[in-house]
């Protein structure tokens, strides 16, 4: 019952996270687009830096961007922050439900580090905070004045932390931890720099003073960082379904390369909005992705050697998999067979050989955290059996 309720909690919170994430990233992409498309009004309008016309949903829209702020504040001013905050709340809750509540299976791999669930959770939360503090420190340090150098240092730190974490968490846990850290940094920028800066600007105007443009500039820098981090973060959030990425021996390098590809593709759109279409960027991004795809392609598992009998495979599946992958799982924390994958009959096993190979032999994602203690030899037997054509006798 408890596991069933957890499944519902997971479903509802994931749904919410997706919706608020779309609302947040959607507005953020829209405003970058808007900013980049602005044109100086002809004839010039007082205090207006740029304007744009657009049509959407049957209506015409004419937006103006003011140099610093309009002379008179409108009565109603719309802020964009709850999308970001709710993405964070729902994301953190989801982290608790899927990773912390099942830390033994999702966050820990005894073959990597035999840590307790509470240690793993403490490390995870500690790093969420530390990541934000370090980022904030970097932005405020003299390095913060040099955008390109700051980006490079930030990126190298990220790769370093990913590689270091692969000695602490399960392979899958590493990716989600990095994704959560980046997401936290993005939301913290909204909550601690962008929104407070805007508030100070508005307050200054209320007092009849000219707002300090420094606040705007600082907020802009954080917005730009968020803009480039967006695509990589979204990749990490969906990567859980693709063990070929995080399950790879050099998962940190895979992440680093996909990160660069995502940032390149984002850069292409940023340039394109301002009328400069430089195809080199997305082409470089796609080339990097192609290189990664070739590099991490599963190696052919040899079917040579002794012929494997199905009964051997069935025995392994029975002891190592059925705890979770049966219609009524016995493994605590699992109310349903995960992803509906049931391995309780020869036919069902035979239908899923490709996915089993990917999960057990290639990426070693299953069993999660190797909860059921499958041995390397057993993995090899499954691999050989599939390579031999998965005969059912």
Q: Applying CB under 6 A, which part among 7-15, 28-36, 294-302, 368-376 lies near ligand HEC?
A: 368-376
CA-nearest of 137, 140, 158 to 263 is: 158
Number of residues that bind ligand HEC (CB under 6 A): 25
With beta carbons less than 8 A apart as the criterion, state whether 107 and 173 touch: yes
How many whole angstroms separate alpha carbon 155 and alpha carbon 257? 11
Among 194, 301, 324, 390, binds ligand HEC (CB under 6 A): 324
Residue 357 found at the interface with ligand HEC (CB under 6 A): no
Q: Is 260 exposed, middle or buried (0-12, 13-18, 19+ CB in 10 A)?
A: middle
Kindly identify the residues of this chain, within the stretch 211-250, that bind ligand HEC according to CB under 6 A.
Answer: 240-241
Residue 328 CB coordination number (10 Å): 9
What spatial distance separates the first Cα and last Cα of the chain, rounded to whole Å? 38
Of the candidates 105, 101, 88, the residue with the CA atom closest to the CA atom of residue 5: 101
- The interface region with ligand HEC, picked from 67-75, 86-94, 134-142, 355-363 by CB under 6 A, is 355-363
Q: Which is closer to ligand HEC, CB of 115 or CB of 374?
A: 374
Q: Which of 18, 96, 153, 341 binds ligand HEC (CB under 6 A)?
A: 341
Closer by beta carbon to ligand HEC, 303 or else 338 = 338
Closer residue to ligand HEC, CB minimum distance, 281 or 385: 385
Does the footprint of ligand HEC cover residue 348 (CB under 6 A)? Answer: no
346 forms part of the interface with ligand HEC (CB under 6 A): no
Query: Is residue 330 a contact residue for ligand HEC (CB under 6 A)?
Result: no
Q: Examine residue 374 and tell whether it contacts ligand HEC (CB under 6 A).
A: yes
Least spacing, CB of residue 223 vs ligand HEC, in Å:
33
Using the rule CB under 6 A, is 46 a contact of ligand HEC?
Answer: no
105 is a site residue for ligand HEC (CB under 6 A): yes
The first and second tokens of residue 323, run together, are 């705890």
Whether 253 and 55 have beta carbons less than 8 Å apart is answered as no
Q: Write the CA distances from 221 to 128, 189, 206, 211, 233, integer angstroms.
A: 21, 10, 25, 18, 18
**Residue among 165, 121, 113, 179 nearest 370 (CA):** 113
Question: Which two structure tokens, joined as six digits, stand for 121?
Answer: 């959770």
Distance (Å, rounded) from C-alpha 208 to C-alpha 197? 17
Backbone angles phi, psi at 366, to 5 degrees: -110, 150
Query: Which one of 88, 368, 385, 390 is in contact with ligand HEC (CB under 6 A)?
Result: 368
Q: Does 352 bind ligand HEC (CB under 6 A)?
A: yes
**Cβ of residue 368: shortest distance to ligand HEC, in angstroms?**
5
The answer to whether residues 52 and 37 touch, using CB atoms and an 8 Å cutoff, is yes
Distance (Å, whole) CA 155 – CA 137: 15
Is 367 a residue that touches ligand HEC (CB under 6 A)? yes
**359 in contact with ligand HEC (CB under 6 A):** yes
According to CB under 6 A, which one of 267, 320, 364, 384 is a site residue for ligand HEC? 320
Task: Judge contact between 90 and 16, C-beta under 8 A.
Answer: yes
Q: Which is nearer to ligand HEC, 27 or 326 (CB)?
A: 326
Quick one: which of 339, 376, 377, 393 contacts ligand HEC (CB under 6 A)? 339
Distance (Å, rounded) from C-alpha 378 to C-alpha 301?
Answer: 14
Q: Which residue, 248 or 325, has its beta carbon nearer to ligand HEC?
A: 325
Enumerate binding residues for ligand HEC (CB under 6 A): 105, 240-241, 317, 320-321, 323-325, 331, 334, 338-339, 341, 352, 355-356, 359-360, 366-368, 371-372, 374
């Amino acid at each position: 019952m408890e596991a069933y309720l957890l499944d519902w909690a997971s479903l509802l919170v994931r749904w919410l996270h997706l919706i608020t994430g779309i609302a947040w990233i959607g507005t953020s992409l829209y405003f970058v687009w808007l900013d980049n498309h602005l044109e100086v009004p002809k004839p010039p309008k007082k205090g207006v830096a740029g304007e744009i016309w657009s049509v959407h949903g049957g209506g015409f829209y004419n937006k103006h961007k003011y140099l610093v702020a309009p002379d008179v504040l409108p009565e109603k001013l719309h802020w964009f922050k709850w999308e970001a905050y709710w993405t964070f709340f729902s994301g953190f809750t989801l982290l608790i439900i899927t990773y912390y509540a099942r830390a033994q299976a999702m966050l820990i791999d005894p073959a990597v580090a035999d840590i307790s669930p509470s240690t793993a959770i403490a490390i995870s939360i500690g790093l969420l905070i530390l990541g934000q503090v370090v980022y904030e420190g970097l932005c405020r340090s003299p390095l913060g004045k040099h955008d390109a150098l700051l980006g490079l240092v930030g990126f190298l730190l990220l790769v370093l932390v990913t590689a270091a974490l692969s000695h602490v968490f399960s392979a899958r846990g590493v990716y989600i931890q990095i994704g959560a850290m980046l997401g936290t940094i993005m939301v913290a920028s909204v909550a601690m720099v962008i929104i407070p800066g805007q508030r100070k600007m508005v307050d200054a105007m209320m007092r009849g003073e000219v707002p300090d443009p420094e606040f705007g500039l600082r907020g802009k820098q954080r917005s730009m960082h968020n803009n480039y981090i967006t695509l990589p973060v979204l990749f990490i959030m969906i990567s859980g379904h693709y063990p070929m990425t995080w399950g790879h021996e050099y998962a940190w390098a895979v992440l680093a390369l996909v990160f660069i590809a995502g940032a390149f593709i984002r850069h292409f759109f940023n340039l394109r909005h301002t009328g400069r279409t430089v195809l080199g960027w997305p082409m470089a991004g796609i080339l990097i992705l192609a290189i990664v795809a070739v590099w991490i392609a599963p190696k052919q598992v040899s079917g040579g050697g002794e012929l494997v009998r199905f009964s051997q495979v069935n025995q392994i599946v029975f002891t190592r998999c059925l705890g979770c992958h049966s219609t009524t799982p016995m493994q605590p924390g699992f109310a349903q067979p995960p992803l509906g994958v049931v391995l309780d009959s020869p036919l069902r096993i035979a239908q899923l050989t490709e996915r089993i190979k990917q999960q057990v032999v290639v990426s070693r994602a299953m069993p999660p955290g190797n909860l059921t203690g499958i041995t390397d030899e057993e993995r090899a037997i499954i691999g050989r059996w599939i390579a031999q054509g998965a005969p059912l006798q």
